[in-house]
Chain A
Amino acid sequence: MTSPITTPASAPSRPPVPPSGTSPVPPPAAASARRARRHARRRELGACGALMTPFFILLVTVFLIPVGTALWLSFFGADQPGLGFGPERTVFVGLRGYTAVLTDPTFLGGLGTVVLYCLIYIPLMVTGALALALLLDSGVVRLRSWAQLGLFLPHAVPGIIAAVIWLYLYTPGLSPVIDLLAGADITVDFLGVHTVLPSIVNIALWSNLGYNMVVFYAALQAVPREVIEASVVDGAGPVRTALQVKAPLVRSSIVMVAMFTLIFALQLFTEPMLLSQATPMIGSRFSPSMYIYDAAFTRNNYGLAAAASVVLLVCTIALSYGVTHWSNRVGAPEEDTR
């Protein structure tokens, strides 16, 4: 950014002086240089535009217009004159769509489910992945790169297939896990009323633990060795070094992982959608995303689906903002590790 040789640090506002002469009237060489510079600037902007245009075409067509459409749709509803026998008309309903969504117990239930899911899943994920990364970074683990590879493997398993695998491991008659537990006189219904949510948490945890561990591990590798040596010299044991020196130093990675985990957790769809084929405990409106899908493509109520989408979007933005705000405020390293 700033090259230390040429930039005069003291005078940022002074216009650049041509180094050749000090005369107030610019010589013709300087004028042509300025023209050349302006020409170069235009070429730069042209290249910049060319490099950015493909992405921004996508941004507009598959992001801005859809978001705008969702907002627009959320204020409209289908009106069926003549007891639903006449042709459907789309009419402006104002905030009625939002009222319908926010007073719909199935939507609120789904929102509650996802919040509960986040409360179980995110702390488990972040502490689990960080703990594993710290253990692997401690230098006492044997076959470290093999362990990493093993932990990372589920990341290569698509979400729907992870759900298929675990569904079979949850299904009595198919599952060796249930047989094993039955051998020890333990009967667990993994798809029961109280167990279905933890079962979904388990699938997500299994899929993403290794990936996040690798992110943390990469960040830990970048911690300067002198810092760790200094803490060892100060007499801190390996556990204290890990929790009070290393973990606070990878804070930005922790926040990033927590943030992405949150954003994806709020979209919960694939796992419950697949499990719903096997258990009546998961209805068609189990999570907000499933509610939106159900409203849009089963009930064909676009206004309702759009309103629910906007509510989900607002929740996502608010919670993400909350996380960043909270992480900025919690600056003390001690509070950060736990």
Chain B
Amino acid sequence: MSAVSGRTAAARRPRLLGRAVVNLVVGISVLYTLLPVLWLVLAASKDRDALFGSDVLSLDHFSFAQNLKDLFTMDGGLYGRWYGNSLLYAVLGAALGAMVSIACGYAFDKYRFAHKEKLFALVLAAVMVPQTVLALPLYLMASGTGLVNTFWSVFVPVLFNPFGVYLGRIFSRGYVPDEVLEAARLDGAGELAAYFRVALRMLGPGLVTVFLFQLTAIWNNFFLPMVMLSDQHLYPVSLGLYTWNSAAVVSPEYYPVVIMGSLLAVLPLILAFALLQRFWKSGLTAGAVK
């Protein structure tokens, strides 16, 4: 009896050590990812003197409200404008883009037609093509049609999401059983009605996943607006903060507003991921398995 328990205790000691090491490694990794965000939060609440004194950890020089006020009054309240633009580009673009991609992915899964796999290979190939390659031709096309420096020049290209089609096909295969569609057809529902009334509801988690992917991508988008837009009033937050950050090199009063502006720009995605957690987690699992 005692020999057995002695042996398990001896076997458990390295396990215990391993446990501690594992938790230490994960703990350090979490600190690595969290501390810069924490710094952003602390720095956003400090005035410029404290920022340059590097004492962001102290409680003096607290000026969160002042920084917030400065942010929204700087350059005639441009930041609020940028924020609205970003929300419009990202939410509307991601919603529309996800619908378009999921519908196409669903059609790839459920219907048979000539050259289907070749067409799908083309869609997959489009995932690989760098944004920078498309930017110049898109700019020339936009300036040819007079769309350059308009809302549309930034909004339309980001709707294109070939990876969403790929995911849509996988989700459709996983979530929408053929029998259900068959039943809908027997009930006399048209093909499109079957899609919109039956299949789309089952594709919910997939739709949310693609929406979030695209929301993140559009919210992060920087290259295309930089190429297309010259009117500051059309800028998204990313490009706006970039210009303010370059201004900060010569006029340091921009530093606190850039930091505060960055903090606020992080919130919508955190909010979206938190609120839609239930959906995208199941969506991600489906995407990762196949």
Contacts of B29 in A (CB 8 A): 132, 151, 209
A91 within 8 A of B: no
A327 within 8 A of B: no
B59 within 8 A of A: no
| CB <8 Å contact, B288 and A253 | yes
| CB <8 Å contact, B249 and A278 | yes
Q: How far is the CB of B70 from chain A (nearest CB, A)?
A: 17
B106 within 8 A of A: yes
Cβ contact of A46, chosen from B27, B127, B191, cutoff 8 A: B191
| CB <8 Å contact, A50 and B133 | no
Q: Which of A11-19, A115-123, A193-201, A311-319 contacts B (4 or more CB under 8 A)?
A: A311-319
In the complex, the number of residue pairs spanning A and B with C-beta atoms less than 8 Å apart equals 266
| CB <8 Å contact, B18 and A150 | no
Contacts of A238 in B (CB 8 A): 18
CA–CA, A222 and B130, complex, Å: 32
CA–CA, A274 and B249, complex, Å: 12
A160 within 8 A of B: yes
Interface size on B, residues (CB 8 A): 92
What are 10 A-B residue pairs whose CB atoms fall within 8 Å in the complex?
A51-B192, A67-B133, A70-B134, A156-B273, A161-B241, A263-B130, A292-B132, A296-B135, A312-B130, A317-B125
Q: List residues of chain A with CB under 8 Å of any chain B CB.
A: 40, 43-48, 50-52, 54-56, 58-59, 61-63, 65-70, 73, 131-132, 135-136, 138, 140-142, 147, 150-162, 164-169, 173-176, 179, 206, 209-210, 214-216, 218-219, 221-222, 238-239, 253, 263, 266-267, 269-270, 273-274, 277-278, 288-289, 292-293, 296-297, 302, 305-306, 309-310, 312-313, 316-317, 320
Q: List residues of chain B with CB under 8 Å of any chain A CB.
A: 18-19, 22-23, 25-27, 29-30, 32-34, 36-37, 39-40, 43, 51-52, 54, 56-57, 100-101, 103-104, 106-108, 110-111, 113, 122-123, 125-141, 156-157, 159-160, 162, 165, 185, 190-192, 195, 216, 219-220, 222-223, 226-227, 237-238, 241-242, 245-246, 249, 255, 258-259, 262, 265-266, 269-270, 272-273, 281, 284-285, 287-289
